[in-house]
């Protein structure tokens, strides 16, 4: 994989070289870091990491809130020849234990409060744990700097864990080139500039959240990370830090439109970007009314290929439900049941081809073979493509429209949730004998998790105790919005639990 002479593909850590020395690169609670200081800090952290974890290609996990560690680690680990494994701060011990074990992490750096929630056996043998403040202190005292790397952009740079419709979270392998080209692509079509300041409110463990960081730095701009508590925190931050760019998922945009924005503050925003679910027509209209000076960019993506499409802001008012067209460096094909390119208005599967396609799932050849398959013959790129499982249509003018998901994955508030993982957590409590997790349409969340269960025989007060137990085992975004208790669970002709019938029943009861 190679770039042009004008736009070469470089190792990821070269993003630290994109800004002007005196400009702001990162705004932290502790103070503002200039681009000159950012370069020094990345070089020092990379040198320290090389000393701590000398094996090239080893995995280093971070489990912390947004701050210096989580913002610098993607570049520092890349420069040190290591693979970064960012862990969502909202996850709990069972999910973290799986990620640490599956990735084979050599080092976990996180906030002590989080690390202290891990139980014996959660941290596998051979993985050291280190508190965030202690690690940063050691880095600050380290007397060596590591220069920019000259490695192969196709080398593995990060593993991002994401849930599918079945099983535990799987690690998507991203190369330096995947992330570099993703940053270049987004910075280009968003028209990001050195004067831009991005409020990073999405988790940096998500591909969309991480790209807030990388695309802004590719353009030489400034990142302001924020772990917000209320939508009003966003209003204050936009005003205080002169924010120009805000990325969010639909449930957050709903909250954004429910608070008052002073005209002067709203006018600071130059662009709004959305992914993680479709915007409703009503929400598009509210955002356009509240932020008339901002360009609205609806986008569609999947971790396995980073980002696939965006809708030109000039087309949003006329085509508010469209996914748009392929982003730069992506080729998007719609393939019908016969394996041919679909005709206009013919439903088919969205297939993503090109250099943004990830390297597959970490240590999971079977699931890799299911999703990463040879590109259709019509592809100009060829090679391996991501077959998304999402059903779309292409209109005569080339715009794409989402139809539905073929698998059972639940997408709630921008999070991808495995029904099986929720079910396993419920069954592990010993309070229920059977469990089915479903995604039910929800105005605010996109889909809400509904859990249908049958109590285990002889258990006292399972209705009262199950929610409490689930709060201990699952992160907040996986918690069922509603738990439905059944004396008998329905089964289909094959003897398996009738998920389709339950889904129709629950959806009907919600609508009635």
Q: What 3-state class would DSSP assign to 134?
A: helix
Q: What 3-state class would DSSP assign to 447?
A: strand
Domain ranges of the chain: 410-511
Instruction: Please tell me the distance from the alpha carbon of residue 364 to that of residue 344, in angstroms, as a whole number.
Output: 36
Instruction: Please tell me the distance from the alpha carbon of residue 199 to that of residue 222, in angstroms, as a whole number.
Output: 9
Structure-block tokens of residue 3: 């770039």
Class of residue 368 by CB neighbours under 10 A (exposed 0-12, middle 13-18, buried 19+): buried
Instruction: Please tell me the distance from the alpha carbon of residue 190 to that of residue 185, in angstroms, as a whole number.
Output: 9
CA 196 → CA 26, 110, 172, 257, 274, distances in Å? Answer: 12, 30, 30, 23, 18
**Mean pLDDT for the chain?**
93
Pick from 449, 419, 422: nearest CA to 92: 422
What DSSP string describes 136-204? HHHHHH----PPPP---TTSEEEEEEE--SSSS-EEEEEEHHHHHHHHHHHHHHTT--TT-EEEE-S-T
Instruction: Tell me the CATH number for domain 410-511.
Output: 3.30.300.30
Contact (CB, 8 A) for 436 and 419: yes
Give the pLDDT of the chain (512 residues) as one tens digit per residue. Answer: 445 446 789 999 999 999 999 999 999 999 999 999 999 999 999 999 999 999 999 999 999 999 999 999 999 999 999 999 999 998 889 999 999 999 999 999 999 999 999 999 999 999 999 999 999 999 999 999 999 999 899 999 999 998 654 557 899 999 999 999 999 999 999 999 999 999 999 999 999 999 999 999 999 999 999 998 888 999 999 999 999 999 998 888 988 998 999 999 999 999 999 998 788 888 899 999 999 999 999 999 989 998 999 999 999 999 999 999 999 999 999 999 999 999 999 999 999 999 999 999 999 999 999 999 999 999 999 999 999 999 999 999 999 998 877 667 788 988 888 888 898 899 889 999 889 999 999 988 999 999 999 898 888 888 989 999 999 999 999 999 999 999 988 876 555 788 888 988 998 887 66
Q: According to DSSP H, which parts of 54-92 are helical? A: 68-79
Q: What is the pTM of this model?
A: 0.87
Q: What 3-state class would DSSP assign to 468?
A: helix
CA 409 → CA 98, 159, 163, 336, 404, distances in Å? Answer: 19, 20, 8, 21, 11
Can you tell me which residue has the tokens 């005196």?
22
Buried b / exposed e across 41-66, counting CB within 10 Å, b at 16+?
Answer: bbbbbbbbbbebbeeeebbbbbbbbb
> Strand 107-110 to strand 31-34: parallel, antiparallel, or no bridges (unpaired)?
unpaired
| Polymer length of the chain | 512
């Amino acid at each position: 994989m190679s770039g042009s002479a004008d736009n070469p593909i470089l190792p990821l850590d070269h993003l630290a070289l994109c800004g002007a020395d005196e400009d702001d690169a990162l705004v932290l609670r502790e103070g503002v870091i200039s681009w000159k200081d950012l370069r020094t800090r990345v070089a020092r952290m990379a040198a320290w990491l090389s000393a701590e974890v000398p094996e090239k290609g080893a995995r280093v996990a971070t489990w912390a809130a947004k701050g210096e560690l989580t913002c610098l680690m993607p570049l520092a680990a890349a420069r040190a020849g290591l693979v970064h494994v960012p862990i969502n701060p909202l996850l709990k011990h069972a999910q973290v234990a799986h990620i640490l074990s599956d990735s084979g992490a050599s080092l976990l750096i996180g906030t002590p409060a989080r690390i202290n929630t891990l139980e014996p056996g959660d941290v596998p043998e051979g993985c050291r744990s280190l508190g965030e403040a202690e690690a940063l202190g050691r880095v600050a005292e380290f007397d060596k700097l590591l220069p920019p790397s000259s490695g192969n952009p196709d080398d593995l740079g990060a593993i991002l864990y994401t849930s599918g419709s079945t099983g535990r979270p799987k690690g998507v392998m991203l190369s330096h080139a995947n992330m570099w080209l993703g940053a270049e692509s987004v910075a280009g079509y968003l028209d990001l500039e050195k004067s831009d300041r991005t409020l990073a409110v999405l988790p940096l463990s998500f591909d969309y959240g991480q790209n807030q960081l990388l695309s802004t730095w590719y353009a030489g701009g400034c990142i302001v990370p924020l772990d917000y508590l209320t939508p009003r925190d966003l209003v204050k931050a936009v005003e205080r830090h002169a924010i120009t760019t805000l990325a969010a998922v639909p449930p957050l945009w709903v909250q954004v439109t429910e608070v008052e924005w002073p005209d002067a503050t709203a006018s600071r925003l130059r662009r709004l970007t959305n992914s993680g679910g479709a915007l409703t027509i009503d929400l598009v209209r509210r955002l356009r009314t509240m932020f008339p000076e901002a360009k609205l960019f609806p986008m569609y993506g999947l971790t396995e290929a980073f980002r696939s499409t965006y809708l030109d802001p000039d087309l949003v008012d006329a085509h508010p439900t469209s996914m748009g067209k392929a982003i730069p460096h992506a080729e998007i094909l719609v393939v019908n049941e016969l394996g041919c390119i679909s005709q206009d208005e013919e439903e088919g599967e969205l297939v993503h081809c090109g250099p943004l396609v990830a390297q597959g799932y970490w240590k999971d050849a079977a699931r890799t073979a299911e999703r990463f398959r040879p590109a259709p013959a019509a592809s100009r790129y060829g090679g391996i493509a991501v077959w998304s499982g999402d059903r779309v249509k292409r209109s005569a003018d080339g715009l794409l429209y989402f139809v539905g998901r073929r698998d059972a994955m639940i997408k709630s508030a921008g999070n991808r949730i495995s029904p099986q993982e929720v079910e396993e957590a419920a069954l592990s409590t010993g309070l229920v004998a059977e469990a089915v997790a479903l995604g039910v349409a929800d105005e605010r969340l996109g889909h809400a998790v509904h859990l249908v269960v049958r109590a285990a025989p002889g258990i006292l007060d399972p209705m009262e105790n199950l929610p409490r137990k689930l709060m201990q085992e699952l992160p907040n975004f996986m918690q069922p919005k509603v738990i439905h208790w059944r004396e008998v669970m329905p089964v289909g002709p094959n003897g398996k639990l009738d998920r389709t019938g339950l889904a129709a029943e629950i959806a009907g009861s919600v609508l009635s």
